[in-house]
Amino acid sequence: MHTDTLTHGLSAEERELAGMVRAFADEVVAPRSYEADRDATLPLDIVAQMGELGLFGLPFPEDVGGQGGDYTALCLAIEALGRVDQSIAITLEAGVSLGAMPVFRFGTDAQRSDLLPDLLAGRALAGFGLTEPEAGSDAGATRTTARLEDGHWVIDGAKQFITNSGTAITRFVTVTAVTGRTASGGPEISAIIVPHGTPGFVVGPGYDKVGWHASDTHPLAFDGARVPEANLLGARGRGYANFLHILDEGRIAIAALATGAAEGCLEAAVDYAKARTVFGERLSSRQSIQFLLARMRARVHTARLAWLHAARLRDAGEPFKEEAAIAKLVSGEAAMDNARDATQVFGGNGFMNEYPVARHYRDSKILEIGEGTTEVQLLVISRALGLTG
């Protein structure tokens, strides 16, 4: 397999990191992937090993317990994991982007010193509760409310599809809630930290999902859940706006995950085509298969360039919203297209869950939906072109 697009333009430290995580993925994660998918169980011992490797602390400065790296470093790790197991990759992505990053970016000194050490070491996970049955991309439809009463926020409402929200090491979830009305009469949306074990906060049973079986995902319910007023994360009324910035970064990380999935499908399809004999000929000798694999290769190359460009912009402090949307769009479609083509190369074996391409086929669809659907990415890109309607 050519690796020029993986290493070209990377520093020696970045190449070393990518190689280290790739080896960890092949040697530790991959052998457990089928079992974890079949049992729909997140292997917390692997999460702990990821913490020991410093993966959860990659984009954070050393003075808060991080590794002193950047977002590109995080995305390299996520891509390497996404090759073999999307559930493990999304656990890292959400643990950093949605769990720790909001606390680091918007938290008080007390919140950061209390919560970040365990999150960045992989000893704890956290979720971010934005999506509701009637709200997600449409923040104005948020129904969860929080009111101040005797120095506490009293929270009522429900969230759905919340990653890392119900594991044995989940410490808290940050939820968006309507805390009042703006001067224009719209909803004032704030973010509030809700620790696990808070009375009135219930984590529902895990979902029976099409894919990402080993990723921890639950609905959440809040019925008079009370937390201290100091649990407000960031300024009051800035919860959704702050989350949008986090979401832009997260789209780069999801793009890296999708690129890894697309590459995993390509690698598996190439190996299978070279080994499989049909009517006395190697499957790889047929030009139709060669061209199919060539298109798969082109998708991986393009997707990687897209997310890497967006990550470099982010790390340089440059605007990256449009580039993140492009990366998410291109890579999500690359993962889905490569999963479909790889399954076709595998034939009947591609329909068996013990083969990674089958799991990628199920897993990859969410990459066109989560952290902003394909249509949302097109909307962001359209607006960047000056198109309104």
Residues 261 and 373 in one domain: yes
User: Structural domain of residue 320, as residue ranges?
Assistant: 241-384
pLDDT of residue 389: 66
Contact 196, 172 (CB under 8 A): yes
Contact 58, 182 (CB under 8 A): no
Final residue in a domain of this structure, among 202, 236, 270: 236
Residues 60 and 132 in one domain: no
H or E stretch covering 232: strand 232-233
Residues 45 and 75 in one domain: yes
pLDDT of residue 362: 98
pLDDT of residue 3: 47
Q: What count of other Cβ atoms lies within 10 Å of the Cβ of residue 52?
A: 12
pLDDT of residue 170: 98
Residues 83 and 177 in one domain: no
Q: Point out the catalytic residue in the list 249, 267, 333, 371.
A: 371
pLDDT of residue 137: 67
Tell me how many domains the chain contains: 3
Residues 280 and 191 in one domain: no
Final residue in a domain of this structure, among 107, 125, 143: 125
In a domain, 389, yes or no: no
Residue 134 annotated among the catalytic residues of the structure: no
Residues 134 and 112 in one domain: no
Q: How far apart are CA 13 and CA 105, in angstroms?
A: 25
Give the β-pairing of 281-282 and 277-278: antiparallel
Residues 154 and 218 in one domain: yes
Three-state SS letters, 139-158: HHHCCCEEEEECCEEEEEEE
Spans of the chain, pLDDT less than 70: 1-8, 136-137, 139, 389
Residues 35 and 110 in one domain: yes
Residues 203 and 288 in one domain: no
Non-local (6+) Cβ contacts of 118 within 8 A are 124, 171
Beta-bridge partners for 201: 222
Residues 42 and 119 in one domain: yes
pLDDT of residue 7: 61
Final residue in a domain of this structure, among 108, 125, 142: 125
In a domain, 29, yes or no: yes
**How buried is residue 163: exposed, middle or buried, by Cβ count under 10 Å (0-12/13-18/19+)?**
buried
Q: pTM value? A: 0.95
For residues 164, 166, 168, 170, the Cα torsion angle rounded to the nearest 10 degrees is 50
pLDDT of residue 134: 82
- Cα distances from 58 to residues 15, 44, 328, in angstroms, run 14, 19, 21
Residues 169 and 231 in one domain: yes
Residues 169 and 80 in one domain: no
